[in-house]
Structure 1
Amino acid sequence: MKYLIASTLLLTAVFTATASAFDLSKTDLQIRAAAGDSDIQTHTITLTNPADTPLDWQIEYDCPWLRIEPATGTTPADSSSDITLRIAHTGLPADAYTTTAAITTASDQQNIDLTLTVTIPLRVPADYPTIQAAIDAANPNDTVLIAPGTYTGTGNRDIDFKGKPITVKSSHGPEQTIIDCQGTGQYPHRGFTFKGYKFIKQEIYGLKIINGKAPAGSVGRKGGYPGSAIYIENAAPVIKNCILTSNADFPNTIGTIAINNDTIFEPQTIIENCTIAGNGTSGIRAYKAKLKMTDCLLKDNNQWGMFIDTCSLEAARCKFTLNSQDGVYSDGGYTEPLRFDNCQFINNSFTGIRISSTNEVVILNSLVKGNAGGISTSGTSIRPVIFVQNTAIVSNSSSKPGGGISVYNNGSASLFNCLIADNYAPKGGGAYFTHEKKFKIVNCTFAYNRAMQSAGGLHLEYWADVKVLNSIFWGNRNLSDGTLGSQISAADDYYPVYLLIAFSDIQNGKDGIDVVDKLIDWRDNNILADPLFVDTGYYEDGELQDYDFRLTHPMPDDELKLTLTSPCIDAASNLKVPADQFDVDGDGNVTEKISIDLNGKPRLSYLSSAPDSGQGSGAIVDMGAYEAVGAIPGDFNDDEKTDFSDLTDFSGRWMADGRSLWQPLHEWHFNTGSGSVAEDVGSAGGLDAHLANLENSWTPSRDGYALQFDHNEQVVTVPGYYGITGTQARTVTAWIKTETTWKAILGWGGSLQEGGTWLISVHEDGALRLSVKGGRKIGSALLNDGNWHHVTVVLPEMENPNVTDCKFYVDGRPDEPRIVVPCSIDTVSDKELTIGHWNDRSFMGLIDGVSIYNDELSPEAILSLYVNGRAQTCRYLPEDLTGDCKVNFKDLAVFAQSWLMQ
Structure 2
Amino acid sequence: MVSARSSNLWGGVAIFLVVLLIGGSAVVGDTIYVDDDGPADFNNIQAAISDANDGDTVLVADGTHTGPGNRDIDFLGKAITVRSSNPEDPCIVAATIIDCNGSQEDQHRGFYFQNGEDANSVISGLTITNGFYGAWGGGIFCWSASPTIANCTFTGNWSGDGGAINNYYYSSPNITNCTFTDNSADNWSGAVHNQEYSNPNLTNCTFTNNGGALVGGAMGNWYSNPTLINCTFNGNFASYGAMHNYYSNPTIIDCTFSNNPAIQGGAMFNAGSSPTLTNCTFTGNSSDHHGGAIHNAAYCSPILTNCTFTGNSADEWGGGMYNTGDSNAILTDCIFSGNSAGDWGGAICNIGCDPILTNCTLTKNVADSGSAAIHNIDCNLTLTNCILWQNIPQELYIFSSATAVINYSDVQGWISGPGETGNINANPRFAHPGYWHPNGTPDDANDDFWVSGDYHLKSQGGRYDPTTQSWVYDDVTSPCIDAGDPMSPIGAEPFPNGGVVNIGAYGATEEASKSYFGKPPCEIIVAGDVNGDCVVDFLDFRLMALHWCESIPAEPTVNYQVGECTGRSDSKTLLKTEPTRFSVEVRGSHIHFEDIIPGNCCPDKLELQMTLEDDLIIIFEDEYLNSPCRCTCSYPTSATSGPFDDGTYSLDVYKREFVGEQAVSTVPVGSTTVTIGMDDE
Distance 2:479 2:446 in 1: 26
Looking at structure 1, the residues matched to 102 and 451 of structure 2 have their Cα atoms a distance apart, in angstroms, of 44
- Residue type at the aligned position of 1:419: I
> Is the CA contact (8 Å cut-off) linking 1:606 and 1:620 kept in structure 2?
no
**Residue 550 of structure 1: how far off its partner (Å):** 8.0
1:200 deviates by 7.8
Q: Which residue number corresponds to residue 159 of structure 1?
A: 73
Asked if 2 retains the 8 angstrom alpha-carbon contact of 1:210 and 1:229, the reply is: yes
RMSD: 3.6
Contact kept, 8 Å, 1:244 with 1:256, in 2: the verdict is no
Measured after TM superposition, the shift of residue 203 of structure 1 is 2.1
Change (3 A) 1:213 1:538: closer
State the alpha-carbon separation in 1 of the partners of residues 131 and 232 from structure 2: 23
Q: Secondary structure at the match of 1:135?
A: helix
Other structure's SS at 2:294 match = strand
Residues 488-515 of structure 1: CA deviation (Å, up to 9, x unaligned): 10235xxx2121110000001039xxxx
State the partner residue of 1:762.
none
The 1:171/1:245 distance shift into structure 2, 3 A limit, reads: same
Query: Partner of 2:645 in structure 1?
Result: none
Are 2:157 and 2:163, in contact at CA under 8 Å, matched by a contact in 1? yes
Deviation at 1:529, TM superposition (A): 0.7
Q: 1:641 to 1:566 in 2, by over 3 A?
A: same
Question: Structure 1's 364 and 401: CA in aligned 2 closer, same or farther, altered over 3 A?
Answer: same
1:620 aligns with 2:503: no
User: Which amino acid is 2:179 matched to?
Assistant: T
Give the equivalent residue in structure 2 for 1:188. Answer: 107
Which residue number in structure 1 is paired with residue 390 of structure 2?
475
Alignment of 1:714-733 (within 5 A): none
- Alpha-carbon distance change, 537 to 368 in structure 1, aligned in 2, over 3 angstroms: closer
| Other structure's SS at 1:312 match | coil
Q: 2:306 matched to which residue of 1?
A: 390
Report 1:646-795 matches (<5 A).
none
Equivalent in the alignment of 1:410:
326
Task: Give the secondary structure class of the aligned counterpart of 2:430.
Answer: coil
Whole-angstrom distance in 2 between the partners of 1:471 and 1:434: 20
Q: Please give the per-residue CA displacement for 1:765-805, whole angstroms capped at 9, x wherever unaligned.
A: xxxxxxxxxxxxxxxxxxxxxxxxxxxxxxxxxxxxxxxxx
Counterpart AA for 1:603? E
On the 8 A contact 2:433/2:453 being kept in 1, the answer is no
Deviation of the 1:308 alpha carbon: 1.6
Say whether 1:629 aligns with 2:514: yes
Looking at structure 2, the residues matched to 268 and 120 of structure 1 have their Cα atoms a distance apart, in angstroms, of: 27
Q: CA offset at residue 635 of structure 1?
A: 3.7
Query: Do the aligned partners of residues 378 and 637 (structure 1) sit closer, same or farther apart at CA in structure 2, a change above 3 Å counting?
Result: closer
> Could you tell me whether the CA contact under 8 Å between 2:332 and 2:358 is conserved in 1?
yes
Mapping 1:430-509, distance limit 5 Å? 430-435=347-352, 437-462=353-378, 464-478=379-393, 486-492=394-400, 496-509=401-414
- Give, in angstroms, the shift of residue 232 of structure 1: 2.1
1:370-389 to structure 2, matched below 5 A, reads 370-372=284-286, 373-377=291-295, 379=297, 382-389=298-305
Q: 1:213 to 1:572 in 2, by over 3 A?
A: same
Decide whether the 8 Å contact of 2:494 with 2:514 is kept in 1.
Answer: no
8 A Cα contact 1:392 1:555, kept in partner: no
| CA-CA distance at 1:287 after TM superposition | 1.5
| Equivalent of 1:229 in 120, 126, 139 | 139
Is 2:160 aligned against 1:253? yes
Q: How many residues align?
A: 468
| Residues 368 and 374 in structure 1, CA contact (< 8 A), matched pair in contact too | no
Hey, what's the Cα distance between the residues in 2 that align with 1:555 and 1:242? 37
Give distance in 1, aligned partners of 2:178 and 2:235: 16
> Do residues 124 (structure 1) and 31 (structure 2) align?
no
* Native 8 Å contact 1:534 1:562 kept in 2: no
Matched to 1:377, the amino acid is H
For 2:22 and 2:310, how far apart are their aligned partners in 1? Answer: 46
Residue of structure 1 equivalent to 2:228? 315
Identity %: 29
What's the offset of the Cα at 1:530? Answer: 0.9
Residues in 2 aligned to 1:358 and 1:150: alpha-carbon distance in whole angstroms: 43
CA–CA separation in structure 1 for the residues paired with 2:235 and 2:448: 25
- How far apart, CA to CA, are the structure 2 residues paired with 1:149 and 1:424? 48
Structure 2: any 5+ residue segments left out of the alignment? 1-12, 88-92, 437-441, 457-463, 507-511, 525-531, 535-681
Distance in 2 between residues matched to 1:411 and 1:637, nearest whole Å: 47
Deviation string for 1:670-723 (max 9, x for gaps)?
Answer: xxxxxxxxxxxxxxxxxxxxxxxxxxxxxxxxxxxxxxxxxxxxxxxxxxxxxx
Structure 1 contact 274–295 (Cα < 8 Å) conserved: yes
* Cα displacement (A) at 1:302: 2.6
Secondary structure at 1:132 match in 2: helix
Corresponding residue of 2:207:
298
What residue ranges of structure 1 are gaps of 5+ in the alignment? 1-20, 32-113, 217-224, 479-485, 512-519, 578-592, 596-601, 608-617, 643-902
Higher relative contact order (CA 8 A, sep 6+): 2
Which is higher, the Rg of structure 1 or of structure 2?
1
The amino acid that maps onto 1:548 is V
How far is the alpha carbon of 1:237 from its aligned partner? 2.2
Shift of 1:537: 4.8
Pair 1:365–1:374, CA change in 2 (3 A): farther
Q: Which amino acid aligns with 1:181?
A: C
**Residue identity opposite 2:499 in structure 1:** A
User: Shift of residue 233 of structure 1?
Assistant: 2.4
Letter of the 1:149 partner, please give it.
G
SS in 2 for 1:570: coil
Report SS of the residue matched to 2:318: coil
Q: How does 1:18-167 map to 2 (within 5 A)?
A: 115-125=25-35, 126-167=40-81
Aligned partner of residue 132 in structure 2, secondary structure:
coil
Corresponding residue number in structure 1 for 2:251: 339
Whether contact under 8 Å (2:435, 2:453) holds in the other structure is no
Whether the 8 Å CA contact 1:328–1:353 is kept in 2: the answer is yes
Cα offset, 1:385, TM superposition: 0.9
The amino acid that maps onto 1:283 is: A
- Change in Cα spacing, 1:199 to 1:177, as seen in structure 2 (3 Å) is closer
Cα contact 2:398–2:404 (8 A) shared by 1: no
Give the whole-Å Cα distance in 1 for the aligned partners of 2:55 and 2:533.
Answer: 70
**2:245 is equivalent to residue 365 of structure 1:** no
Match of 2:98 in 1: 179
Work out the CA distance in 1 between the residues paired with 2:372 and 2:203. 35
Letter in 1 for 2:425: L
Distance (Å, rounded) in 1 between the aligned partners of 2:154 and 2:420 = 55
Counterpart pick for 2:173 among 249, 269, 273: 269
In structure 1, give the amino acid aligned to 2:493.
R
Q: Distance in 2 between matches of 1:551 and 1:371?
A: 20
Indicate the SS of the match to 1:529: coil
Aligned 8 A contact 1:345 1:352 in 2 = no
Q: 1:523: how far off?
A: 1.6
Q: Would you say 1:603 and 2:603 are equivalent positions?
A: no
- Tell me the equivalent position of 1:838: none
* Distance (whole Å) between structure 2 residues aligned to residue 371 and residue 178 of structure 1: 32
> Is the CA contact (8 Å cut-off) linking 1:287 and 1:311 kept in structure 2?
yes
- Equivalent residue in structure 2 for 1:207, among 126, 136, 155: 126
Amino acid of the structure 2 residue aligned with 1:389: T
Separation in structure 2 between the aligned mates of residue 504 and residue 331 of structure 1, nearest angstrom = 33
Q: C-alpha deviations, 1:184-214, integer Å up to 9, x for none? A: 3322222111225366853211110112211
Counterpart-to-counterpart distance in 1, 2:502 and 2:465 = 18
How many Å apart are 1:353 and its aligned residue? 3.6
More strand by share: 2
User: How far apart, CA to CA, are the structure 1 residues paired with 2:473 and 2:301?
Assistant: 31
